[in-house]
Amino acid sequence: MTRAIRTLPGMGAFLGVLSAAGAALAQEAEAAAESGLDSGDVAWILTSSAIVLMMTIPGLALFYGGLVRAKNVLSIFMLCFVTAALVSVTWVLWGYSIAFGPDVAGGFLGSPLAHLGLAGVSWEAGADETIPRQLFMVFQLMFAIITPALIVGAIAERMKFGAFLLFVLLWSTFIYAPLCHWVWGPDGWLLGLGALDFAGGTVVHISSGVSALVAALMLGPRRGFLKEPMPPHNVAFVVVGAALLWVGWFGFNAGSALAANGVAVVAFVNTNTATGAAVLGWMCTEWLSRGKPTAVGAATGAVAGLVAITPAAGFVEPISAIAIGAVAGFLCYQACNLKQRLGYDDALDVVGVHGVGGTWGALATGLLASAALSGGGGLAQLGKQAAGVLATYVLCGAGTFLIISVLKATVGLRVDEESEEMGLDLTQHAESAYTHGGGS
């Protein structure tokens, strides 16, 4: 056999290349082992980052786009799409640094200059890390994108496109990034307090829900609100969008383990279990109150369950996830119907789903946290959770009020009555989703 190999032309050179390649791979493996980089963790967080972006575009765009009238569906898609573009740039320039840079204000703010333009944020893993810091940055970017995009549901069908872009710029810089530092920054004051938030109950959902309420109140209701019907124009969009959110949420929650490990499995199982329970909770509540379960209701119930389990995903047992989801389905259904009686126009139920669902999930985390997974819950932990919820209310409520006030006094918030009547697709973007039909 040896003599046969020696007679093949070029085989010696080929074997030399293989040997050199093997040596190079061995050196890379040794270097990765020294740095702590784990290829499985890297692959999982890259995948999670991609599917979390999918939650916003196209998941949230479809979900919200189906709920509005046909004359505004492109406007919704555009708001979600451009939010992703804008935050992708600002997060790299300064947002990440404010959120995860060295603390400069007693746990309240990261240094905006420490990682300006990702300075010092390596694409290699450090000695005590299994994923590169830039990968952590891009995973967190996807959260920074979807959070202001959620607020689109409260201002739909009436806000100027330019005013919304300025709102996202200011809100993501002065509200989202500092709040992220409070909760997840290494020296964040809520983290130091011991408040638990596995994947964004306060940072993503309560922040967007509270800000949505303030924005909806300050913007005022749509023309014809509570006087004329405004049904969803495409229920199929709504269900498909909710389904994409459900799938993407596995990256959102299980990815927040930041490793391909047992905690990711726990978060994955709890996410799916709570969502199923919430669909059933919403559906049964609607069935009993209105006589029929609706597809829009089931889809909205799924989102409510996903929201509620987010802060608890890696901290509770599956039986607790069922309770969190089922209660979320019931509570969020009631909250979404309450706006009719209170008269505020949260067009697509951001307050009822994300504000109420996020609050319930954060408090339930304190009550139901497992000792094996988080150190345990109880009244002491509930108090810490309540402090986190209250602090988020104050920052997001006051901050959004200030931002909206400045925009209202400078560029203006709303389109004029004629533009609103014609629809934002035509008046803001000179396009129509349904050129040959599909009227409003």
Going by the DSSP 8-state scheme, the letter that residue 288 receives in this structure is H
According to the model, what pLDDT value does residue 340 have?
84
Main-chain dihedrals φ then ψ at residue 33, nearest 5 degrees: -65, -40
Q: Quick one: what percent of the chain has pLDDT higher than 70? A: 91
The pTM for the full model equals 0.90
Query: Per-residue pLDDT for 4 more than 50?
Result: no
Q: In sequence order, which residues have a C-beta less than 8 Å from that of residue 51 and are 6 or more positions away? A: 247, 248, 250, 251
**Model pLDDT for residues 301-331, shown as the tens digit of each residue:** 999 999 999 999 999 999 999 999 999 999 9
According to the model, what pLDDT value does residue 36 have?
79
Q: In sequence order, which residues have a C-beta less than 8 Å from that of residue 425 and are 6 or more positions away? A: 71, 72, 73, 74, 75, 431, 432, 433
Q: In sequence order, which residues have a C-beta less than 8 Å from that of residue 392 and are 6 or more positions away? A: 179, 202, 203, 206, 207, 210
Three-class secondary structure of residue 270 per DSSP: helix
Query: Per-residue pLDDT for 35 more than 90?
Result: no
**Model pLDDT for residues 126-148, shown as the tens digit of each residue:** 767 899 999 999 999 999 999 99
What is the C-alpha to C-alpha distance for residues 117 and 287, in angstroms, rounded to an integer? 52
Contact 160, 169 (CB under 8 A): no
Buried b or exposed e, range 321-354, using 16+ CB within 10 angstroms: bbbbbbbbbbbbbebbeebeeeebbbbbbbbbbb
Report the mean per-residue pLDDT for the chain: 92
Q: Tokens for 48, please give them.
A: 């999670």
Contact 96, 140 (CB under 8 A): yes
CATH topology for 38-429 is Ammonium transporter fold (1.10.3430)
Task: Of 57, 77, 162, give the one whose Cα is nearest residue 433.
Answer: 77
What is the C-alpha to C-alpha distance for residues 373 and 314, in angstroms, rounded to an integer? 7
Query: Per-residue pLDDT for 27 more than 80?
Result: no
**Model pLDDT for residues 273-285, shown as the tens digit of each residue:** 999 999 999 999 9
**Spacing of C-alpha 147 from chain mean position:** 5
What is the C-alpha to C-alpha distance for residues 42 and 131, in angstroms, rounded to an integer? 5
